Amino acid sequence: MAVDPLPSFPPGFLWGASTSAHQIEGAAHLRGQSVWDVFEARPGAIRDGSTAAVACDSFHRHREDVALLAGLGVNAYRFSVSWPRAGSPGGLEYYERLVDDLLAAGVRPVPTLFHWELPAGLDWLERDTAARFADHVERVAARLGDRVSTWITLNEPAEHTILGHALGVHAPGRTLMFDALPAAHHQLLAHGLAVRALRAAGATDVGIAASHSPTWPLSAREEDVAAAEFYDVLMNRTFSDPLLLGRYPDGLAELMPGDVDADLETVSERLDFYGVNYYAPSLVGAPTGENSAYGTLDVPAGIPFSLHEIEGRPKTHFGWPVVPEGLTETLTGLRGRYGDRLPPVVITENGCSYPGLDDQDRIAFLDSHLRALHRAIEEGVDVRGWFVWSLLDNYEWNEGYEQRFGLVHVDFDSPERTRTPKASYAWLRDVLRAQP
């Protein structure tokens, strides 16, 4: 464990913890179905065969979660509003109770309006889904807007597009490969419409949570560099360029549906902050003709790149390499590429999966990443906050309950879903107490 105290972060820094609705709420019988409920019923879709029907049961136990946040000493909580729940009787009341309890505990609520649980029957390949999302956002903002100032539109449209629509390992389980791109465009359009709807409802602090993985070429060989560039475009810039520059990387606009130029004006509505989810860099080479792997994800042969293990680094339980300087690189890279078009940044997710209550590996991970974040600030990147992923062990999508990202252990075998703070919880609490 590191012993040097962490450097001080700027005054007013947001210190938060993140979760998402489908991963923690449970109470599936009290909301409409989402594409994830449908996907989880497919044999073999979820590694441990589980579902999120109960998960951490936060729907019934959110007061315990709020008490844990208060005890941790964070000043913000990023949760998500489930679209199917918000459209079900009693759904918005649940989020009102959560927001009221957070405010009473001195914790800023930071809701995300879409974290992958699309209502069953809707489809991101359809343009109309973007307008339906804007309606959902309007309804939620009308109900919570008097108490919520900071909003996140979408979580990781890249992962939802690629894992869910191109590779089929996430819901809705489509394997469309490059034909999945319209799902990206419609999510981006939905984001832009949501920004407008939130501003019309009086919101003044609106952002998105986008995943970013610095892409390292396997070698200096031309074909590896070209494959890495392709991967960077696909995973990062297909989303960040339209959001921040109002245009797609070369060659992509032609593949998108509709009046793309007009849509891009909506997509690139000014943001108050840009949320970055950072986990690890990607080492990318020319295609090998074989399947390749990133952690536990198989990437099929036949796509124009291959993914490679980053050697010589510790790995999380998920198999992801621990590379804190990748966070500094991500942030300085974003500033370099987007310059003044990059709004202040908030790290909306950063964390790791490890088993056990005495999670010294997680402490080392978080310590090194906070130092890397501070280096980016010293190098001039305007970073306003950091949210750990995650407050609780939770339902890790197609991995089920096997990957534990929480500062707080959840006993998924107990009817009470007993919560037990891990060593990392006490560590982060002490770090936050020492901040100015």
Q: Is 138 a catalytic residue?
A: no
The residue behind tokens 């804190």 is 324
Nearest CB to ligand IFM, comparing residues 23 and 82: 23
Nearest CB to ligand IFM, comparing residues 79 and 248: 79
Q: How far is the CB of 249 from ligand IFM (least distance, A)?
A: 23
Q: How far is the CB of 403 from ligand IFM (least distance, A)?
A: 7
Distance between CA 47 and CA 211 in Å, rounded?
Answer: 23
Q: How far is the CB of 349 from ligand IFM (least distance, A)?
A: 5
Distance between CA 303 and CA 227 in Å, rounded?
Answer: 10
Nearest CB to ligand IFM, comparing residues 217 and 400: 400
Please report, as ranges, the residues that interact with ligand IFM according to CB under 6 A: 20, 23, 156, 277, 349, 389, 396, 405
Q: How far is the CB of 155 from ligand IFM (least distance, A)?
A: 6
Nearest CB to ligand IFM, comparing residues 281 and 285: 281
Q: Is 379 a catalytic residue?
A: no
Indicate which residue of 156, 269, 396, 399 is catalytic: 156
The residue behind tokens 């994830």 is 36
Nearest CB to ligand IFM, comparing residues 212 and 375: 212
Separation in Å, CA 25 to CA 80, 95, 102, 336: 10, 11, 16, 39
Q: How far is the CB of 76 from ligand IFM (least distance, A)?
A: 17
Instruction: Using DSSP, state whether 111 is helix, strand or coil.
Output: strand
Contact partners, residue 359, CB within 8 Å, separation at least 6: 422, 423, 424
Separation in Å, CA 298 to CA 73, 137, 244, 290, 291: 39, 35, 31, 10, 7
Indicate which residue of 138, 349, 396, 399 is catalytic: 349
What angle is formed at CA 388 by the lines to CA 52 and CA 365, rounded to 5 degrees? Answer: 110
**Distance of alpha carbon 373 from its chain centroid, rounded?**
17
**Environment class of 29 (CB within 10 Å of its CB; exposed 0-12, middle 13-18, buried 19+):** exposed
Q: Which residues are catalytic?
A: 156, 349
